[in-house]
Structure 1
């Protein structure tokens, strides 16, 4: 059995991950973490499901991960970096679904991957990662005469924008076209903006309600448009993809991987 720890155990994603672990035949709950101010700290991690797992939600990393071989983390950059250091020191493999990292934080994750195996992806959903692959083919074929816009929508509680998934879509398209997203991305338009620069990639962000996650990449040409869209209706897709990542890591001693590695899309 793969002993899996869950960060942010009392949050929406954390509970979905715990439920997914409990439903498998090859994984077991090996630990549960949450911030010290969470009222769930000290409670059984599956109490909300109506039964006890024997695993308590802890704010202390040493206690919370004492029995874990893997940690799945969908929290925030500051918390994930603290978890990363503990995992590196203790040989715990890591699945990172957190987004919004700085370049320096990404570099630290890459350095840690020399010692432990890490899967890091802005979106763990299998379908989204298939879309990344489709975008490479689309961008290669539609490299002239098409304007590219990325539209994403998420729930009102999401704190970063554009989403990590939208940014990764932009990176995939830009890399395929031989561009640097940092130089060609446009994150907002207001007022008299002038004619659109055809070398740019535009982003539009929507926040509201309980939208789990919608992403569309629009290739707009003359007389035709192509839209590649992925819509998530449940966080269960992220949970199932995360468990596939855990199983993949069980065969990796160290290294930094993406979901394209997990799914064999490279």
Structure 2
């Protein structure tokens, strides 16, 4: 696909994501198995493809996310983070290595292949005592109420069928005063950059996917899912509707990515 899509027409308001698999409309209940298949296929090359898709910028964006979280460096203050849809452990590793010895993270992902990659990496890095990997659904988290100091999710929430349900679950598991941070691809807000970004996304990324993994279709879905995701203001409204306070967002790289923040007060 080439050419600029009309963003207001292409992007959903959130609830429609449950039946949106990229630009395809699917039946209720069909999206999750299709998304699972995508990530089973790309698990071993997921972070490499993030480098190719973002020109390495995803590393800077994730570092900025962790800086915004500011995990305590104290070796006595416990700080427990839930990183959702973070199967490879990329963000969680950044968090625990930035924080003190009492900063720990639980990585929760619905995809076992992604979790296996993360578990192997944590063992090699000697972080198994500070990183725990749990298979679970963002829409129905297997954790008690008010059990985490922070909830993070990076480039994963657009793959959740019922985003409103995932946001409600995030609010449920956070302690009072807990922080919600979501890093996600978003709507470019720089004239000219939008057309360049679309041309690169729809033409170059699936081609790179074919070269790296032998199949470009999973990456075509990933590109299309970005265009269907609610824009910055719409998603901020969804976070407020889930019960979060002091909601704000910050664009990175002209809106290619956006960091959303909220507090459980």
Q: Does the pair score TM above 0.5?
A: no
Per residue, is there more helix in 1 or in 2?
2
Higher relative contact order (CA 8 A, sep 6+): 2
Bigger-Rg structure (1/2): 1
- Give the alignment's TM-score, normalised by structure 2: 0.38
